[in-house]
Structure 1
Amino acid sequence: MLVPRRAATRGATPQLLAPPILAAVKTAVTVLSAALVAVLAALTVTSVRVARTVVTPAGRVPDTRILGLDTAAQTITLSSTPDSRLPGRYGLFTTGTEQYVKLGSVLAEDATTVKRKLLTHIGTESHLAAQAAFSGWYFARPEELHLPFTSELIGSPSGPCPAWLFPAAVDTDVWVIQVHGRGTTRSECLRAVPVFHELGITSLLVSYRNDGEAPRSRAGTYALGATEWRDVEAAVVFARRRGARRVIIMGWSMGGAIALQLALNSPHRDAIVGLVLDSPVLDWRLVLSYQAKLLHLPSPVTGLALGALGADWATAVTGTGAPIPFDRLDVVSRAAELEHPILILHSDDDGFVPSDASHDLLTARPDLVELEVFEVARHTKLWNYDQERWSDSIRSWVLRQGLTPAHAAAES
């Protein structure tokens, strides 16, 4: 007689897997765990590299190629890039018989090449290497402005920082202090000197720690504005000692972040009467996330890199010496703390620092912020693209704010 099988009941002991199946499962788990560890390790290594790249001062990177040079016609043919196609006047860092040449208007272009007029004379015996770097500086040295200037040293917490001082034609107590961006030097700011000189305002173009001209900090890395502002604060003290009563701070790109930290944190901010910001960084997390997308980096890499830069435990591997205070550097979220009138000049086609935060700051503080929106002009090349409009925007803003020497004299 057959005995019916007893139905399985709750709590019954499960049957063990056969040894071959158990071995296969263990092998699969081991392989998957090793793969997961490898993926996490790769993400971590990549994230650390990205984090270090953000804060490590770097040399100029070639971004275009010289494809042809016609010394008879004084023209140069470049590979086509979003920058090399831009209308206007620019510069080109080169190697060979010339280190830097000035470029004029676009004469011809197709899908792969751009022919431009040379504004620096190139002789028939000259030769240039193919690799070059396109520049918005235009002016490379202060002598090119044909204005009187002196070289100065400003004593800052990081040490003596070189500066160029362009005095106004007539003694004035209104100064503008110019702050360059990441990976550049004070030569970037030379374009702005003429418009302020026309307004009777003295210009001081400064350097700051780790920019290749000023002293190196202990870590030797950028703090993205969190510490650099103290060197610019020393420049404000320098200006006040030389007779400045009203100081405009102009910042380019990361120089905008530095200028805003100065305006928010310095005990000398009472001397500041306004800020002019060209293509400014207002929120580093937004900028770095945008650039990561351009480089097609996975979101986890970006998140890990930002987390590492902002964490105490990661300073040894990122090389920062201290965490980057992203919350403190987010000026949009701190908009209520702003006290000074601000003019922002930004291209919606910036390509490096998105203009979203500039629009957001205008929305948050329309009582203080004016935004002059450009198209096409790209990052910190607004002067090059449309010098007249750029200069008129600054000139009219200064006059509306009553920041010319004549206004200062009338109020004293």
Structure 2
Amino acid sequence: MADSRRHAVRGHRWWRPALVGTGALLGLAAAGLGVLTLVVARTVVTPPRRKREDATIVAVDLPGRTITLGRTGDAILPGDYGLWFSGDRGYARIGEILETSADSVTRRLIEVRFGDLAAATRGRFSGWFYLSPADLGSPFEEVGIETELGEAPAWLVPSSVPTDRWVIQVHGRAVRRQETLRAIPVFRDAGYTSLIISYRNDGDAPYSPDRRYGLGDTEWRDVDAALRFAVDHGARDVVLMGWSMGGATALQAVTRSARASVVRGIVLDSPVVDWVTALRYQGELMGLPSPIRSGALEIIGARWGRRLTGQLAPIDLSRLDFVRRASELTVPILLMHSDDDGYIPPTASRALAEARPDIVTYEAFTGASHTKLWNYDRDRWNGVISGWLARLDAPDQVG
């Protein structure tokens, strides 16, 4: 009997290291998942310092005005685009596709604004085509908008005719106000003064104390300040136009601003209508497991997560869901989205259009990518907006 007990004890001792080792591995795996979840959460709310250059520059023919790039999804998009290179120390405009092969694309080189393109080896495509209102040949003024954080710079581009109609342009995440310059001509031709704004943490406007994005949940206050500026300078009817995260911000402003009554319509280009849908989609593209995607959303939306992400306050993701809040919207909306956006899926945009066909005009593009609808098909984009603006004068025709 004693030998049997000693054997049993020795057996338990034999398995103990294995169990401890297994537990340690599981602990390490759990810790690894936790760290990755936190990294994802912080990335969502932290303005990036650098942008990835994912375009390979194969050859540049300056006299012949051509550039050859490695074949990527962006490189084969028809239309006119900006190309940043050499760590954003250079910028060029590129145009139509001239020749393609299995691994390269040759395009027309419209101009090099600055930088040594001939020496560059990598770059990144951009929907930006203009860097200043001066590029459009329109008169403009540099103005400052007083926000709760300080003065935010903006461009004021007057209409071609006297008007009390204004459009306020709200750019997207991780870009600046130059993104929205493409919209000036169509609004100016329709008799609108354009106010091209910056907002907190975008690199132009003052930073918030935590230097973190609110995904529209805080940035709308700067749009509210822009509405005040517009009204103080003669605006009586305002259209808000939001691009990507700027769409989420515009929707917050029209439902939370004390000055929302002056807004007569909203134009959305590739907007975030529901951040949960958008962030889950981006996580899937990155190959992140579902627990990490869900965990990151929980962290940025919970009060306890603030110490982990650096946020001063959690983000109310349910308040940013305008599919759920569709009934709260009251003004006409023009919503444009590409079926193959590749960054913000059109799922929520379509759902909003289906929920509110009485006020939402939905324009689906195909092949245009994210916030590059103007670049891809300028004539259609301008025509859609100008037609919708004309129908604002007959509200029963909008929707």
Report the TM-score when normalising by structure 1.
Answer: 0.91
Query: Are 1:303 and 2:294 matched, yes or no?
Result: yes
Query: Are 1:176 and 2:167 matched, yes or no?
Result: yes
The equivalent position to 1:283 in structure 2, one of 274, 277, 285, is 274
Contact 2:60 2:117 in 1 (8 A): no
Residue 234 of structure 1 corresponds to: 225
Query: Are 1:212 and 2:214 matched, yes or no?
Result: no
Residue 13 of structure 2 corresponds to: 23
Equivalent-residue separation in structure 1 for 2:44 and 2:281 (angstroms): 13
Equivalent-residue separation in structure 2 for 1:384 and 1:297 (angstroms): 31
* Aligned partner of residue 340 in structure 1, secondary structure: coil
> Unpaired runs of 5+ in structure 2?
none
The equivalent position to 1:380 in structure 2, one of 371, 374, 378, is 371
Residue 53 of structure 1 corresponds to: 43
Query: Are 1:44 and 2:39 matched, yes or no?
Result: no
Query: Are 1:264 and 2:255 matched, yes or no?
Result: yes
* Aligned partner of residue 322 in structure 2, secondary structure: coil
Residue identity in the other structure for 1:344? L
Contact 1:177 1:235 in 2 (8 A): yes
Equivalent-residue separation in structure 1 for 2:112 and 2:312 (angstroms): 46
Residue 351 of structure 1 corresponds to: 342
Residue 410 of structure 1 corresponds to: none
- String of CA shifts for 1:391-412, please: whole Å, max 9, x gaps: 00000101111189xxxxxxxx
Larger mean CA deviation between 221-230 and 127-136 belongs to: 127-136
Equivalent-residue separation in structure 2 for 1:298 and 1:96 (angstroms): 32
* Aligned partner of residue 213 in structure 1, secondary structure: coil
Equivalent-residue separation in structure 2 for 1:37 and 1:77 (angstroms): 50
Q: How far 1:52 sits from its partner (Å)?
A: 0.8
Residue 130 of structure 2 corresponds to: 139
User: Residues 381 and 122 of structure 1: is their aligned pair in 2 closer, same or farther, counting only changes over 3 Å?
Assistant: closer
Residue 190 of structure 1 corresponds to: 181
Equivalent-residue separation in structure 2 for 1:284 and 1:381 (angstroms): 20
The equivalent position to 2:23 in structure 1, one of 25, 29, 33, is 33
Equivalent-residue separation in structure 2 for 1:302 and 1:386 (angstroms): 34
Across the aligned residues of Structure 1 and Structure 2, the Cα RMSD in angstroms comes to 1.9
Larger mean CA deviation between 151-160 and 312-321 belongs to: 312-321
Equivalent-residue separation in structure 2 for 1:75 and 1:179 (angstroms): 33
Equivalent-residue separation in structure 1 for 2:109 and 2:81 (angstroms): 10
Equivalent-residue separation in structure 2 for 1:298 and 1:65 (angstroms): 30
* Aligned partner of residue 152 in structure 2, secondary structure: strand
Residue identity in the other structure for 1:347? S
Equivalent-residue separation in structure 2 for 1:43 and 1:296 (angstroms): 13
The equivalent position to 1:118 in structure 2, one of 103, 109, 133, is 109
Report the TM-score when normalising by structure 2.
Answer: 0.94
The equivalent position to 1:62 in structure 2, one of 48, 53, 61, is 53
User: Residues 255 and 16 of structure 1: is their aligned pair in 2 closer, same or farther, counting only changes over 3 Å?
Assistant: farther
Q: How far 1:130 sits from its partner (Å)?
A: 1.0
Residue 201 of structure 1 corresponds to: 192
Identity %: 47
Equivalent-residue separation in structure 2 for 1:305 and 1:97 (angstroms): 30
Equivalent-residue separation in structure 1 for 2:62 and 2:155 (angstroms): 34
Equivalent-residue separation in structure 2 for 1:258 and 1:205 (angstroms): 14
Equivalent-residue separation in structure 2 for 1:224 and 1:291 (angstroms): 15
Residue 408 of structure 1 corresponds to: none
Q: How far 1:216 sits from its partner (Å)?
A: 0.6
Superposed, which structure 2 residues align to 1:287-366 within 5 Å?
Answer: 287-366=278-357
Equivalent-residue separation in structure 2 for 1:121 and 1:218 (angstroms): 38
Residue identity in the other structure for 1:130? T
Q: How far 1:62 sits from its partner (Å)?
A: 1.0
Query: Are 1:72 and 2:63 matched, yes or no?
Result: yes
Q: How far 1:99 sits from its partner (Å)?
A: 1.5
* Aligned partner of residue 102 in structure 1, secondary structure: strand
Equivalent-residue separation in structure 1 for 2:224 and 2:138 (angstroms): 25
* Aligned partner of residue 60 in structure 1, secondary structure: coil
Q: How far 1:122 sits from its partner (Å)?
A: 8.4
Contact 2:91 2:113 in 1 (8 A): no
Residue identity in the other structure for 1:47? T
Contact 2:91 2:112 in 1 (8 A): no
Equivalent-residue separation in structure 1 for 2:98 and 2:13 (angstroms): 72
* Aligned partner of residue 120 in structure 1, secondary structure: strand
Residue identity in the other structure for 2:388? W
Equivalent-residue separation in structure 2 for 1:33 and 1:299 (angstroms): 23
Larger mean CA deviation between 53-62 and 330-339 belongs to: 53-62
Q: Which structure has the greater CA radius of gyration?
A: 1
- String of CA shifts for 1:317-363, please: whole Å, max 9, x gaps: 11122111110011111111111110001000100000010100011
Contact 1:98 1:128 in 2 (8 A): no
